[in-house]
Amino acid sequence: MPERNPGAILDLQREARIGLTEAVLCEHKSVEQIANILHQLRERTTPGLLTRLDADKLARLPEALRGELDFEELSRTAFFTAPLRPKQGAPVAIVSGGTSDAPVCLEAARTLEFHGVGAVLFQDVGITGLWRLLERIDEIRRFPVVIAAAGMEGALFSVLGGLVGSPIIAVPTSVGYGVSRGGQLSLNAALSSCAPGVLTVNIDNGYGAACAALRFLNSRMR
């Protein structure tokens, strides 16, 4: 076999450089690779955030490591040892069209929590029953940052963008079927929104939406 450098090289300076921790995206990694990374984190006593961790992979991790993980199943996230910072306030609103978007909303919420930032969830305010959104819109307007998750045709982004002046970070979700299968339609709806200045991240990327919100909150505090 060829010469190899030993294991993963973590970007531990990222926190200092841009204020965000490198998350461990578990989806394409083997159980061995994940365990290897957790060992490295433990050696340096660095907390870690794991995303897209299947319950199945979790079960196959060595028991000692598993015991140190705070796992949340719906979002498939885990905190390794303690989160980065104690929680302060809840400056982020997370708004979603339907209950099927819950996993993505929670991935965002957990990422914020890991960085010490709270959030309030506004679920099931899809625009087919417009009254549900209008009833809560004044409350939502008060948040300095709004994360909005929606699948299907993603009309929520445009309605929200016309009613709220805060930065809006759209997270298209892969909820849908037929021509909206996979989230591309909802993504394009966010990008083409008639409402000016709606911003977007990748499909199902609750982690990325949270990181963007953190960039804004960090910039705000400077």
> Candidates 40-48, 60-68, 78-86, 113-121 — which segment interacts with a copy of itself by CB under 8 A?
113-121
The first and second tokens of residue 178, run together, are: 């037929």
Q: According to the binding rule CB under 8 A, does residue 124 interact with a copy of itself?
A: yes
> Candidates 40-48, 56-64, 78-86, 130-138 — which segment interacts with a copy of itself by CB under 8 A?
130-138
Contact pick of 39, 64, 118, 139 for a copy of itself (by CB under 8 A): 118
Q: According to the binding rule CB under 8 A, does residue 35 interact with a copy of itself?
A: no
Q: How far is the CB of 40 from a copy of itself (least distance, A)?
A: 11
| Helix axes of 206-221 and 102-114: crossing angle, nearest 10 degrees | 40
By C-beta, is 5 or 88 nearer to a copy of itself?
A: 5
Q: According to the binding rule CB under 8 A, does residue 82 interact with a copy of itself?
A: no
Q: According to the binding rule CB under 8 A, does residue 81 interact with a copy of itself?
A: no
By C-beta, is 62 or 129 nearer to a copy of itself?
A: 129
Q: How far is the CB of 47 from a copy of itself (least distance, A)?
A: 16
Q: According to the binding rule CB under 8 A, does residue 57 interact with a copy of itself?
A: no
Q: What are phi and psi of 107, to 5 degrees?
A: -60, -40
Contact pick of 88, 125, 138, 139 for a copy of itself (by CB under 8 A): 125
Query: Which one-letter DSSP state was computed for residue 100?
Result: G
Single-letter code of the amino acid located at 69: L
Q: According to the binding rule CB under 8 A, does residue 168 interact with a copy of itself?
A: yes
Element of type H or E holding 32: helix 31-43
- Strand, coil or helix: 179: helix
Would you say 171 and 206 are in contact if contact means Cβ atoms under 8 Å apart? yes
- Strand, coil or helix: 149: strand
The first and second tokens of residue 168, run together, are: 């809006």
Find the length of the chain. 222
Would you say 75 and 101 are in contact if contact means Cβ atoms under 8 Å apart? no
Q: According to the binding rule CB under 8 A, does residue 121 interact with a copy of itself?
A: yes
By C-beta, is 68 or 70 nearer to a copy of itself?
A: 70
CA 32 to chain centre: 25
